Structure 1
């Protein structure tokens, strides 16, 4: 048997297991094996696999030698329940012809009704290479139920297992070990953030959730019909911390959903239900029947199709924001409260402490200097109106900052310089080769557009001091809110910055001239009075 034939032989979910019962118990295979003693037990090996596309044909109980093209799943729990009366000596002993006929006529529903609330005969959880081994399982018909699944794995339906099974190759003996390959729809999900251009608190940041669409096998597929059915439920829940993020407007505009390449519509394909509790607001995107059908259409059109959800949120505070989403791929995950949780996407916003000083160590009051901050050096040097106005954690926008008497002021609400789109950034990136130095540049280096330096411009100097002659580059990061190493010094008026007082030494001569003029006036008055007295 070649590899492709073996792959087509893997069970395609619960229906494949039922077909295995039919192969073993109905028709000539069982009759041909009647010349061999019917064993009283068999070993059973269950190997849990992720569903693939295209679907394969039902398996036949033999081992699949090469599973390299498949993903095995650990952590899936199974329980096997004996159908009453099918054990050796029972009224429908499976080791008899009438018992085989009885087993072949059963469905999962009828067998479950017979099992009722009986205890499981065997239990186990897949491990290692996704397997469970039950040795020496007594003859009988069993209902095998999936009792637990790890997050991101869609539970498969119950299936029937007959012990023993006819060897499908020889058709003249029985399988000593029965190999079963039930498949589960396994999904993965990721979350990313795009905020390279969103530099300040108050800006709108977009988060994207991308989840696999569950591959729910269609038992009625003929190859020309859809291979996969719509999941019985599907929802994605994103929880925002209110102090950090807020949905940017109405959900119909701020939340966008696609299935494969098809855009879905709120109200037609899904609903959005907000729930607020303990300072958080959760948005549940719940797919209705039309939405789940759209998922099935997408996965049938492309085996790699995904469902994506984009959320636009407003940044409310200068902090490190970690955000995850929970994906519920079927009803069982909702009922059991076992969602698949995405990775944490991270956006970082912080602050910078300006430390202002005077060139004169005797100056103790450093209040009154006023700064603005720009996103580019060119705008900062031009001193134009493109300065930033981030909001503080109270939601108040600031476009300038005044130093206190100690010379300090904190600029709050700017995106981290070396963190954008959820990943660390360097100031320089490779350009035609390996960059000589990712922080200082050099050969084969190009400026990284996602790395963000900021530029301080002093618009009002300290009293008695000169304005800064050029912008100052600053960096926002983990320690910038309390930094003291970067000190901005203003030059006190003195030396070349002090012009002579108006008149300078001329003031002295004016004073002397005035006194002389006053003396002359007094002399003139005295002489005039003497003449007047002489004339009398």
Structure 2
């Protein structure tokens, strides 16, 4: 009896052992199926929670590049949460038990069409076959998933980098990153997820999956400054007509898909004229930069004073994912629309780009920020008042002006009646007081100037010496502040209202009439001459008569 029982239990034990082995057959995303049975009550209650991380070169240590699945306890360290990322998922197959293994029956015609020959709707495939389809694929290869029937788009990831898909049925899902911030240079790889999925220990099923895809991110940077003989500055004072040398260094992000367009734009105010012919574009920064070829690598357009530099596709297609440094240089001239004083003039710069795969209307723009403000250009003026006796305003008194150590300046007399420095045809040296006895000189850089009176009104004497005027920058000022002296004495500069402070140097010249000397060639002079001649002639005649009588 004992022997019979021993032979009866052996087949039972073997059968039980085989069933245990079958429970360990592979399932996609795990080394082996767990021994427990799938809980059918969880059908339609599965979920995927995605926590998005990014960083320069960030790769989770316990994950293949781009993906990690498991519980929240498996969260990687070292990355930064990444907001505003959107994922799209699509169920592509049902779970089936076939040939004593968990396999996948394709249900999505869109997936089958994308996969191409060898994949047919309704056919059953092992995990390795389907996994091979996405190996080496990038998100850009599956952007069309947004048009697949039955796809689900996630909400953008929040500040903690999280978003989720919930109430999912059992099956095989493909997950693709379909939108991401502009600072992403390498996005997450597509991944196939089985719901449910065996845990990493192979001893249970996961119905709530946690994924930790990663991105490589980078920072854009944009600056603008003015190059001078003394170095680089953000605040520069010039005369009207002077040339300003601008430099715009920036760092652009090149996403994995590449760029359709990249454009640098400069928008000046009305007092700055930018020269499109002066534009040069360099790849890189500093001494190591190399100049690009105009009309081959980039083009330049000017519209209404605005400057646009477009990098051409022939150049953009040579770029690899990551960041790329550029330097753009060009010149501008301050014109006679300039305001005087500390208000100054700026021209804002920005660059924008469109990623491949995005519609042309989806433009990412990078502007100057508080850490890299737009530079300002300043200029100043002199308000000369010429007064006579009792404060009378003297019109048509003329002066010339020259800067210390330089020849006499020439000026343009504009419609407002002011004089602005100019070397153009028709510019004149002579400055003449108006009906109010004033000469308004607008658009002078800091420096020492001398005003020489060349003609005055009748009865007044010319000034013996030129009048010295100094416009002096305030040391270390970042606001264009200046002080002034007239004939070596400090004066308070005039404002032009609002924030146009320290704008004009006040200069008042008052003359009194000199001695009343008859003018050369006047009637009085002729009368005196005739009278003198008559007296001399009469005296001569009398002398002759007297001498005759003596004889």
Same fold (TM over 0.5): yes
In 2, Cα distance between equivalents of 1:190 and 1:490: 50
Q: Contact conserved, 2:266 with 2:347, CA < 8 A, in 1? A: no
Deviation at 1:345, TM superposition (A): 2.3
- 2: CA distance, partners of 1:124 / 1:26: 26
1:364 is displaced (CA, Å) by: 2.4
Q: Is 1:83 aligned to 2:111, yes or no?
A: no
Match of 1:311 among 312, 326, 329: 329
Following superposition of structure 1 onto structure 2, how do residues 336-355 of structure 1 map, counting pairs within 5 Å? 336-343=361-368, 345-355=374-384
SS at match of 2:543: helix
Partner of residue 367, structure 1: 396
CA distance in 2, matches of 1:65, 1:361: 93
Is the strand fraction higher in 1 or 2?
2
The 8 Å contact of residues 86 and 92 in structure 1, kept in 2 or not, is answered as: no
1:395, 1:146 → 2: CA distance? 61
- Structure 2: which 5+ runs fail to align? 1-25, 98-102, 109-123, 230-235, 339-344, 413-418, 473-479, 482-494, 520-524
Deviation at 1:203, TM superposition (A): 0.8
CA distance in 1, matches of 2:546, 2:161: 130
CA pair 516-293 structure 1, distance change in 2 beyond 3 A: closer
Q: CA deviation at 1:514?
A: 9.0
Within the candidate set 416, 433, 444, 1:404 is matched to 433
Distance 1:386 1:64, change over 3 A: farther
Within 5 A, what are the aligned runs for 1:355-394? Answer: 355-358=384-387, 360-372=389-401, 374=403, 380=404, 383-385=405-407
Equivalent pairs, count: 433
Q: What are structure 1's unaligned runs of at least 5 residues?
A: 1-23, 217-229, 300-304, 375-379, 416-452
- Alignment pair present for 1:266 and 2:288: no
Decide which structure has the larger Cα Rg and report it.
2
Distance in 2 between the 1:161 and 1:327 partners?
35
Label 1:486 to 1:141 Cα distance change in 2 as closer, same or farther (>3 A).
Answer: same
Q: Distance in 2 between matches of 1:488 and 1:268?
A: 50
Structure 2 distance, partners of 1:286, 1:331, is: 14
* Offset at residue 190 of structure 1 (A): 0.9
How much has 1:407 moved relative to structure 2? Answer: 3.7
Distance in 2, Cα, partners of 1:207 & 1:457: 34
Contact 1:356–1:403, Cα closer than 8 Å, also in 2:
no
In the TM superposition, 1:37-436 aligns within 5 A as 37=39, 39-40=42-43, 41-53=45-57, 55-56=59-60, 57-58=64-65, 59-62=67-70, 63=72, 69-83=78-92, 85=94, 91-92=105-106, 100=127, 103-107=130-134, 117-153=148-184, 156=187, 159-164=190-195, 166=197, 169-175=200-206, 176-183=208-215, 185-197=217-229, 199-200=238-239, 201-214=241-254, 216=256, 231=258, 233=260, 235-239=262-266, 244-247=272-275, 249=277, 251=279, 254-258=280-284, 262-267=288-293, 271-286=297-312, 288=314, 293=318, 306-315=324-333, 317=335, 318-319=337-338, 320-328=345-353, 330-332=355-357, 335-343=360-368, 345-358=374-387, 360-372=389-401, 374=403, 380=404, 383-385=405-407, 396=424, 400=429, 402-405=431-434, 406-414=436-444
In 2, the alpha carbon distance for the partners of 1:401 and 1:165 equals 92
Deviation at 1:357, TM superposition (A): 2.7
What's the CA shift for 1:493? 5.5
Q: In the alignment, is the contact (CA less than 8 A) between 1:74 and 1:130 conserved in 2?
A: yes
Query: Are the equivalent residues in 2 in contact too, given 1:359–1:489 (CA < 8 A)?
Result: no
In 2: Cα distance, 1:75 partner to 1:483 partner: 48
Matches within 5 A, 1:489-508: 489-492=508-511
Asked if the contact 1:367–1:404 (Cα under 8 Å) also holds between the matched residues in 2, the reply is yes
For residues 193 and 308 of structure 2, the distance between their equivalents in structure 1, rounded to whole angstroms, comes to 47
**1:309 offset after TM fit, Å?**
1.9
Q: Given that residues 247 and 314 in structure 1 are in contact (C-alpha distance below 8 angstroms), is that contact kept between their aligned partners in structure 2?
A: yes
Mean Cα deviation higher: 117-126 or 29-38: 29-38
Distance 1:81 1:125 in 2: 17
1:460 aligns with 2:500: no
Pair 98,215 (structure 1): closer, same or farther in 2 beyond 3 Å: closer
Q: How far did 1:527 drift?
A: 3.8
Residue aligned with 1:312, SS: strand
Cα distance in 1, alignment partners of residues 144 and 501 from structure 2: 69
SS of alignment partner, residue 288 of structure 1: helix
Aligned-residue CA RMSD (Å): 5.1
Task: Give the superposition deviation at 1:211.
Answer: 0.9
- Pairwise CA distance, 1:120: 3.2
SS class of match (1:249)? strand
Q: Please give the secondary structure, in 2, of the residue aligned with 1:31.
A: coil
**What corresponds to 1:474 in structure 2?**
471
